[in-house]
Structure 1
Amino acid sequence: MTVRIGGVERTLPSARVGSMGRVPLVEFIGDSEFTNAVAQEMLVMIPEGTEVLLTVVTNALPLTHELSDRSGLPYECVRKKRRPYMTDPLIQDAPSMTLGVAETFWLDSPHAARLKGKKVAIVQDVISSGGTAQTLGRIAERAGGTVVGYLAAFRQGEGALSLPFKYLEKLPATI
């Protein structure tokens, strides 16, 4: 499957994922040209009044960094593993996601403090079921922030989303 964003074209590889069959894979890590093109196109999707972007490691991180660079907004990143330096982190279990893996998300307390009283936009590379977005939203709210929007580079599949997401392009659920 081929996608074209902001004049940059990529043929997406696919991978077999459990009973879902083969799904297209979006990879921003190591692809600066594609990441920059997508970030540039996503700038207009950032809700007015946003004060901080929130994402989760790993693939969405370079995209969020580029959005931060272009918009001038700071960002925070939730981890999927506790790090030894974390002190009193916010911990949030994530539901079983599209890839069939339940996870626990961690946000170190100094990073959580930067969300307090702020209007937060959740940034993802691909939105499918909305489970990761809901988990990030809960973390933002527990930290004292207010979620003002959800955005992703791609929407995968046809399932109903319970969140008002903005995205650039739709990907099929399976290929």
Structure 2
Amino acid sequence: MDHLNVNIGGVSRTLPTVRTGNLGRVPLVEFVGDSEFTNAVAQEMLALIPEGTEVLLTVVTNALPLTHELSDRSGLPYVCVRKKRRTYMQNPLIQDVPSMTLGVAETLWLDGPHAARLHGKRVTVVQDVVASGGTALALTRFIERAGGTLEGYVAAFKQGQTTLPVRYLQELPRSL
């Protein structure tokens, strides 16, 4: 199958599928550049944010526009972890992600002043898709190292098996 249809908040999208490692073909969710879909998904995800959340935490790239819209709607600030070190970063926290869905190990970076925004706060991790949970666990480690408390995990989509208690809108097939 070369596509998968999804509908969230009255907005439908045909997701192309891409071949990834040993998984076969998986649906490719894109929020970057798709304001209509991003806004619809963010509106539906508002109800998933755990009560007591004080800050949202996400990672660049695809989940960033989604988290921005969640922040705008909820009034909660957000912090973003990067996939590359930037020259302006001051005392960054660094966290390896041993295995990503697409089979690429990465190192994530959180600027020191951004990490300080998590200190003493109840933080919810926001992702576009949670598959194995490796990225979510790396983000959890940032929260702990910055002195925050994990409040929960929310995602637009869940794909495959994870032991994390993630709240999500729809489940995607692990492979097509």
**Structures share fold, TM-score greater than 0.5:** yes
- Whether 1:92 aligns to 2:95 is yes
Shift of the alpha carbon at 1:49?
0.5
Partner secondary structure for residue 174 of structure 2: coil
* Residues 1-175 of structure 1 mapped to structure 2, 5 A cutoff: 1-157=4-160, 159=161, 161-175=162-176
The alignment yields a C-alpha RMSD, in angstroms, of 0.6
Q: After the TM superposition, which of the residue ranges 64-73 and 17-26 deviates more from structure 2?
A: 17-26
The amino acid of 2:103's aligned partner reads G
Structure 2 CA distance, aligned partners of 1:82 and 1:174? 33
Partner secondary structure for residue 138 of structure 1: helix
In percent, how many aligned pairs have the same letter?
Answer: 75
Shift of the alpha carbon at 1:114?
0.3
**Matched residues, number:** 173
Unaligned residue ranges in structure 1 (runs of 5+)? none
Partner secondary structure for residue 40 of structure 2: helix
The amino acid of 1:122's aligned partner reads V
Structure 1 CA distance, aligned partners of 2:99 and 2:52? 32
Shift of the alpha carbon at 1:162?
2.2
TM-score (norm 2): 0.97
- Where has structure 1 moved over 2 Å in runs of 4 or more? none
Partner secondary structure for residue 12 of structure 1: strand
Structure 2 CA distance, aligned partners of 1:3 and 1:100? 24
Structure 2 CA distance, aligned partners of 1:162 and 1:93? 20
Unaligned residue ranges in structure 2 (runs of 5+)? none
Structure 1 CA distance, aligned partners of 2:98 and 2:130? 14
Structure 1 CA distance, aligned partners of 2:82 and 2:91? 14
